[in-house]
Structure 1
């Protein structure tokens, strides 16, 4: 027998139920951000020389990297946690990552979809991210990190060494060992926890917070903390057998050096002067911008160049004193005051090269004028005149001679134009006013002119002939 249908609810119930259900739905949408209609962040920042480097739509404020590396198998296992703020309504965003296998991604603790295309890792969060929202992305990855060959033929990324590995990042190498927004314009603080087999050390940037052995003593985890903003290209990890020394400069800045035992004797004399160099540069360039200083000296040949990694530069073999002066000067010019794009590389290398000239001048060597004259005496076909320092012709040339030598000559011409008191005030003021920020060439020329308005016309000639001019400029008037 069929049952009679139940009577319908009273008419008053329906109007009350619908608004209540709608309100609950709206509150649910608001809570999860589902009301956002975002768009994907750019897959590159259109750097003049590396247009796909970096990513748009967000700003990273902190990286927490949990790494484990076995030098025998060359296998790296990592978990990268990025804290970032959305700069637009985001439906997707990219990270730079070369090689390695991604095992999973979450955004704000919810599983996110991801896909790879070359060095781009595209992430689609479960909930779209509204502008201004601070979110946390966790990427699990593993594999054998790759060595990257730059356009100029040099090698970076993850370099295997005789007893471990060395992570170097300029200009694009950091993407070989952790995912991130790997453009110098996006700086962040860092926590790096690196687990390595017993008997091997892991040295990085910032301060060593702890070194803990595993339960059975088979591995040690070193935790480093970087509390000042750092561009990813000056992040480093050095894994191997190192002799550690700690001290302080006469002004009280902590010094931490890590030296491969094979290089210890050859490095001792120059590294003994490191505190003196840092204190001289502090007097010349203004307050030291970081919480510690030092150096990492790996075996000769483990890398093809020295690099200004933040807090403690890396040297392949025992450094020369001039090279130590150069790389430590980068702590002000390059690491603290960082270029907005790779076109402005001369703001790093020109300043660090001029620091070498000043050191010689103040310590019984050639005057800066003599160093300038020696550089100028190169004939018109010399490499130093190949292009203007502010406009390298391509990615393969951002570390060429004009960026270094002619960049330093620009600074000397500024010194001649404004005079010593104003020039040395500029060195300190530029580093102090732009501390922990990003700058370009226009920022610098505007700053110099603003600080020296009476010399604006003469400075315009310096920019025209020495900074942007092609070929060898006419010899400066020495009258």
Structure 2
């Protein structure tokens, strides 16, 4: 009889091998992008964030920002490493309480390697301590941080978060937010949601904001400066908080005359889109030089230039419409931008009708007649415009024309049922143009593939026959410009990404 002698060291190694899970080999780095073809490096793979807790200190005089960001997340794969989208200087990262190693890569990536790998489905808390001067940082040749005479503002689309907090920067990963900002006494810090409290000590005031419904990262905003703040409530009881820079100059009166109608506009839109989906409402106008507005959740951002020619309630309508179309239901990929912009523009058409300044049908007729077949306007496909044309005027105007074509095809009863039903069906989530088409077919009981293809996906002007079918003017003669047209057009400015050197417009 022969016995095999196993050395103690070998026995230990064998036990260790048995203790290692078979899946250990599956641990891998999370992808540096979430998979959006328009912006391959935006967002990240391997985890999902449910909450951001941001504790910040900002010095307006020097544009210095210090922060501690706590991300509450869950892994979606076996992770050896993961990325955050961030631009400021990082002092420390902890994952699950233990220090993690980190390095930067690419234009805006922070690569984090936890002390031990993370199994799929693991709840994880990530803490990042950081500092920097946001206005000194650029990615892809631009900045989304706007320096003002008395502070700074984070507001841009499709990206702004990386300039002030680390995140999974894509609308697919929505989360709730607590934003606490320490600023010098006499300075205000404006953010999304409800103002929970303020407190002052030793020359500094802390402002505590909370957004308790899921919010995309680009819809999170921060504005620090000297503001006049007004408060009120809508007829339906939603609290309204508006903030106006104290140095708006000649634009101050027209800005107030516009934003102070926020509650009225929200109640109007609720009649078409269903109950307002959040517990806070308002807007803010900082002293920036950009020309666009943005639907930052519950508290849209407005450039002073939006009010340079007088009051502009139409732009308020546009940004508030986004609270339903774009914010509570966000795109899956940036190619789905039509669901945001086409319907926000159409809301302006409904407001025009409400104000007796031109019906939605008259505005649709005018858009169709105003652009001849050889106009490049028709080469942009609102249903998938491409990253270079994502905010082209055609996405707005041709996009709204497509909405009117849908209305005429399926009739008002089904159309208005869809307007209200869509935000409820996908509340606080994400959806695509294809999802919308399926939903419209389900509600209306009609096949709509040909209509969607004609009005959203063909790079040419819909033929007279298609326009006639959609009840759009086809006479070929001049069409009277609706009275509201100049007001609506005034919200456009020069279309294109403001921080990439092409001017500004409403988003």
**TM-score if structure 1 supplies the norm length?**
0.89
Deviations along 1:183-229, one digit per CA (max 9) or x if unpaired, are 11100001111111111100000111111112x2x111111111000
CA 1:302/1:212 → structure 2, altered by over 3 Å: closer, same or farther? farther
Please give the secondary structure, in 2, of the residue aligned with 1:262: coil
1:239 corresponds, among 207, 216, 224, to 224
2:381 corresponds, among 379, 388, 397, to 388
Q: Are the aligned partners of 1:105 and 1:113 in contact in 2 as well (CA < 8 Å)?
A: yes
Alpha-carbon separation, structure 2, partners of 1:293 and 1:62:
21
CA 1:348/1:147 → structure 2, altered by over 3 Å: closer, same or farther? farther
Gaps in structure 1 of 5+ consecutive residues = 1-13
Identify the residue that residue 6 of structure 1 maps to in structure 2.
none
1:67 and 2:56 matched: yes
Please give the secondary structure, in 2, of the residue aligned with 1:415: helix
1:419 and 2:408 matched: no
1:147 Cα deviation from its structure 2 partner:
6.8
CA 1:388/1:35 → structure 2, altered by over 3 Å: closer, same or farther? closer
Please give the secondary structure, in 1, of the residue aligned with 2:388: helix
Identify the residue that residue 297 of structure 1 maps to in structure 2.
285
1:270 and 2:255 matched: no
Deviations along 1:56-86, one digit per CA (max 9) or x if unpaired, are 0100000111111111111111111111000
Identify the residue that residue 126 of structure 2 maps to in structure 1.
137
Alpha-carbon separation, structure 1, partners of 2:423 and 2:443:
14
1:200 and 2:187 matched: yes
Q: Are the aligned partners of 1:384 and 1:405 in contact in 2 as well (CA < 8 Å)?
A: no
1:141 Cα deviation from its structure 2 partner:
1.0
Identify the residue that residue 439 of structure 2 maps to in structure 1.
447
Gaps in structure 2 of 5+ consecutive residues = 1-6, 473-507
Please give the secondary structure, in 1, of the residue aligned with 2:117: coil
CA 1:248/1:383 → structure 2, altered by over 3 Å: closer, same or farther? farther
Q: Which structure 2 residues correspond to residues 23-422 of structure 1 after superposition, within 5 A?
A: 37-98=26-87, 100-118=88-106, 119-146=108-135, 156-214=143-201, 216=202, 218-263=203-248, 264-299=252-287, 301-317=288-304, 318=307, 320-377=312-369, 378-393=371-386, 395-422=387-414
Deviations along 1:343-369, one digit per CA (max 9) or x if unpaired, are 111110000000000111122110101
Q: Are the aligned partners of 2:380 and 2:389 in contact in 1 as well (CA < 8 Å)?
A: no
Q: Are the aligned partners of 1:61 and 1:188 in contact in 2 as well (CA < 8 Å)?
A: yes
Alpha-carbon separation, structure 2, partners of 1:276 and 1:323:
14
Q: Are the aligned partners of 1:97 and 1:120 in contact in 2 as well (CA < 8 Å)?
A: yes
* Runs of 4+ that moved beyond 4 A: 34-37, 147-151
Please give the secondary structure, in 1, of the residue aligned with 2:384: coil
Q: Are the aligned partners of 1:69 and 1:75 in contact in 2 as well (CA < 8 Å)?
A: yes
Alpha-carbon separation, structure 2, partners of 1:208 and 1:147:
29
Deviations along 1:303-333, one digit per CA (max 9) or x if unpaired, are 3310000001011114611000000000000
1:162 Cα deviation from its structure 2 partner:
1.7
1:148 Cα deviation from its structure 2 partner:
7.3
Deviations along 1:435-455, one digit per CA (max 9) or x if unpaired, are 1010111101111111122x2
Identify the residue that residue 9 of structure 1 maps to in structure 2.
none
Alpha-carbon separation, structure 1, partners of 2:215 and 2:105:
27
Identify the residue that residue 4 of structure 1 maps to in structure 2.
none
**TM-score if structure 2 supplies the norm length?**
0.84
Alpha-carbon separation, structure 1, partners of 2:56 and 2:43:
22
Please give the secondary structure, in 2, of the residue aligned with 1:435: coil
CA 1:113/1:182 → structure 2, altered by over 3 Å: closer, same or farther? same
Alpha-carbon separation, structure 2, partners of 1:276 and 1:298:
22
Please give the root-mean-square deviation of Cα atoms over the aligned residues, in Å: 2.3
Please give the secondary structure, in 1, of the residue aligned with 2:165: coil
Alpha-carbon separation, structure 2, partners of 1:149 and 1:357:
37
Alpha-carbon separation, structure 2, partners of 1:156 and 1:244:
27
Alpha-carbon separation, structure 2, partners of 1:240 and 1:266:
20
1:381 Cα deviation from its structure 2 partner:
3.4
CA 1:35/1:466 → structure 2, altered by over 3 Å: closer, same or farther? closer
Alpha-carbon separation, structure 2, partners of 1:385 and 1:310:
31
Deviations along 1:393-414, one digit per CA (max 9) or x if unpaired, are 3x22110012111111111000
Q: Are the aligned partners of 1:68 and 1:78 in contact in 2 as well (CA < 8 Å)?
A: yes
1:22 Cα deviation from its structure 2 partner:
6.4
